[in-house]
Amino acid sequence: MKNNVGLFLTKRAHLNPDLEGFIDVASGRRITFAEWNAGANRAAALLRARGVAKGDRVALLMLNCPEFAECFFGLAKIGAVVVPLNIRLVADELAYILNDSGATVLIYGEEFAAAVADLEARGAAGTRVKHWIHVAAPDGGAPRADFADDYDELRAEASDAEPAVGAEEDDLLYIMYTSGTTGLPKGVVHTHNSAIWACITITTTSEMRYRDRYLLMLPAYHVGALTPLTGNVYRAVTSVVMRSFDPLRAWELIDQEKITVALAVPAMLVFMDQVPDTDRFDTSQLRWIMSGGAPVPVTMIEAFAKRGIEVHEVYGLTEVCGPACLINPEDALTHAGSTGKAFFHTEVRVVDEDGNDVPPDTPGEVVVSGKHVMKEYWNQPEATAEALRDGWLHTGDVAVADAEGFVYIRDRTKDMIISGGENIYPAEIENVILSHPKVRDVAVIGQPSDKWGEVPLAVVVPADDTLAADDVMGHCVGKLARFKLPKAVEFIDEVPRNPTGKILKRLLRDRFPGPAAD
């Protein structure tokens, strides 16, 4: 068969037509692979009928709904290029991405009707969007704007026959804009081939099994959900999909849906761990939760181990379609804090500024190669050349690897604090502070210091109001080298994070600009 991601669904529907493929928790819809594939074919047909051809960009602004899932595979079949949009963006940010990608069609969920109406009222805000397609919410009823077509109406009229396949392995599959915690978002371009190799290496490397039941809690516009969604079709795995994360609901679903495996960012683990009375849920089917997006606190690995649930730390990036490093199940506790070694079809090295391997146990930048690395940043040849050098993706993340090859992610280069000439990795300090029972959440940032250059500031969300700054500082003494000790503690109500759990440190630096007292 042609190497086209859309045909993954065609093939799976042929092999396992009656197996549940997509369970939409919000609406209660239980969609078999055959039904999902028929829906994808309808999506392909209705978009072709609107003039969408190979290479055209089609933007999706939706929660994790079945319509997103069928549009993604339908567009892949006909060779159109999916532009999944971050649902937290405001109208101007959306306009930027629609403009940059050149999307001509926007399919949007009812939940985002106001932002879309704003865009449309401004003459599409300078973008090339010509078709607007409105997807009703399960409990919706908001009126559809005059300028928009109704997805369900178009879908009902469309054929569910397999469309002519419009793309092969070197053609573009999607452009995914990075979350843009700094600067303007860049469009990461993946081909069918890079997405396919991501699925292949996840299937080969992870402890996933035929007919697993996979709880998907991350937003589908992010690689942390889109790659599993694709990989689950690839491996005959049922995706149980939440439209938005809720920690109590996650436990309920693990029980009710007999979830066997899941993926969560570390912040989700923290919130799940704080849910009271979870003993009432049957979690005996759940073998593991893969966790990444930020270093996983060792306390969380241990807390879930006590529940009989393995946490497998994974290290991934949008630029490599997900997979970079994954810890083996049998190493997860003995090497807690490590994200393991490179995936099977992947190479990971830790290098100095000249691109040479650093010795074991020495911090350096992580670089990744493999067939699942992105093709380019869309329309940004300079940024592409900076990121992809000699076939290696330069991640901007700092790690050390030990002599056996176990990789420990320290932090993002740009989050590193340099204090008195020493490198300090905020994630390490965050891990220590999070192990204090009265700490609910924490972020560590650098503040300018006349004496040291920078010093660490701990921004803490207390679990109760008896927690004092001295408690936090005292907790760190003996657990961290002196130069790593936070010099001050600030309390806040909530650590700002993007929807995939990444701490928005820029916002914290704006709020606590310093300088620090010496």
Q: Which of 203, 379, 413, 435 binds a second copy (CB under 8 A)?
A: 203
| Cα separation, 346 vs 202, whole angstroms | 10
List helix spans (H) across 369-439: 381-387, 426-434
Q: Does 90 bind a second copy (CB under 8 A)?
A: no
The reply to whether 307 sits near a second copy by the rule CB under 8 A is no
CB 393 within 8 A of CB 366: no
As measured in angstroms, the least distance from the Cβ of 158 to a second copy is 24
Could you say which of 11, 50, 131, 375 contacts a second copy (CB under 8 A)? 11
Interface with a second copy (CB under 8 A), residue from 130, 209, 451, 511: 209
State CA 486 to chain mean position distance.
29
Asked if 455 and 422 touch (Cβ cutoff 8 Å), the reply is: no
**Residue 344 CB, nearest distance to a second copy (Å)?**
6
Determine if 292 is a binding residue for a second copy (CB under 8 A): no
Return the range that interacts with a second copy (CB under 8 A); candidates 14-22, 145-153, 237-245, 437-445.
14-22
Which residues fall within 8 angstroms of residue 162, CB to CB, at 6 or more apart? 10, 41, 77
Which runs of E-coded beta strand occur in 250-338?
A: 261-264, 288-291, 310-317, 322-326
Pairing of strands 213-216, 261-264: parallel
For every residue of 197-252, DSSP letters joined together read: HHHHHHHHHS---TT-EEEE-S-TTSHHHHHHHHHHHHTT-EEEE-SS--HHHHHH
Q: Which is nearer to a second copy, 346 or 500 (CB)?
A: 346
- Strands (E) across 14-88 are located at 20-24, 29-32, 57-61, 81-84
Q: Does 200 bind a second copy (CB under 8 A)?
A: yes
**Contacts of 515 by beta carbon, 8 Å cutoff, 6+ apart:** 447, 448, 449, 450
With respect to a second copy, which residue has the nearer C-beta, 274 or 334?
Answer: 334
Residue 214 near residue 240 (C-beta atoms within 8 A): yes
Least CB distance from residue 34 to a second copy, whole Å?
Answer: 11
Q: Is 262 in the site for a second copy (CB under 8 A)?
A: no
Give yes or no for residue 1 binding a second copy (CB under 8 A): yes
Using the rule CB under 8 A, is 14 a contact of a second copy? yes
Give, as ranges, the residues between 107 and 126 that touch a second copy (CB under 8 A). none
| Window 334-353: residues binding a second copy (CB under 8 A) | 341, 344-347
* Residue with Cβ nearer a second copy (89 or 317): 317
Is residue 403 involved in binding a second copy (CB under 8 A)? no
- Of 205 and 227, the one with the shorter C-beta distance to a second copy is 205
x-or-dash pattern for a second copy, window 228-247, by CB under 8 A? ------xx------------
Please give the size of the binding site for a second copy, defined by CB under 8 A. Answer: 28
Smallest separation, CB 406 to a second copy (Å): 11
Residue 328 engages a second copy in binding (rule: CB under 8 A): yes
Residue 1 or 477: the one with the smaller Cβ distance to a second copy is 1
Shortest CB 347 distance to a second copy, Å: 5
The distance of closest approach from Cβ of residue 250 to a second copy in the complex, given in angstroms and rounded to an integer, is 24
Q: For a second copy, which stretch binds (CB under 8 A), given 196-204, 215-223, 253-261, 420-428?
A: 196-204
Beta bridge partners of 313: 291
DSSP structure string for 428-481: HHHHHHHTSTTEEEEEEEEEEETTTEEEEEEEEEESSTT--HHHHHHHHBTTB-
The Cα 188–Cα 377 span in angstroms is 5
Per CB under 8 A, contacts with a second copy among 455-514 are: none
Q: Please tell me whether residue 312 binds a second copy under the rule CB under 8 A.
A: no
**The one segment of 11-19, 120-128, 181-189, 387-395 that binds a second copy by CB under 8 A:** 11-19
Q: What are phi and psi of 231, to 5 degrees?
A: -65, -30
Among the candidate windows 94-102, 207-215, 409-417, 428-436, which touches a second copy by CB under 8 A?
Answer: 207-215
Cα–Cα distances in angstroms (integers) from residue 326 to residues 181, 373, 374, 407, 420, in the given order: 24, 16, 19, 9, 34
Interaction of residue 206 with a second copy, rule CB under 8 A: yes
In the range 361-400, which residues lie near a second copy by CB under 8 A?
369-370
402 binds a second copy (CB under 8 A): no
| For a second copy, the closer CB: 155 or 341 | 341
* DSSP line for 155-206: HHHS--SPPPP---TTSEEEEEE---SSSS--EEEEEHHHHHHHHHHHHHHS
The reply on whether position 37 binds a second copy by CB under 8 A is no
Buried b (16+ CB within 10 A) or exposed e, 332-356: beebbbbbbbbbebbebbbeeeeee
Least distance (Å) between residue 266 CB and a second copy: 23
Q: How many CA atoms lie within 13 Å of 428's alpha carbon, on the beta-carbon side?
A: 20
Query: At its nearest, how many Å lie between a second copy and the CB of residue 329?
Result: 7
Nearer to a second copy, 26 or 333 (CB): 333
* Backbone dihedral angles phi then psi of residue 193, each to the nearest 5 degrees: -65, -45
Burial zone of 63 (CB within 10 Å; 0-12 exposed, 13-18 middle, 19+ buried): buried
- For the record, the structure tokens of 503 come out as 């701490």
CB closer to a second copy out of 202 and 272: 202
Residues that bind a second copy (CB under 8 A): 1, 11, 14-17, 200, 203-207, 209-211, 234-235, 328-329, 341, 344-347, 369-370, 404-405
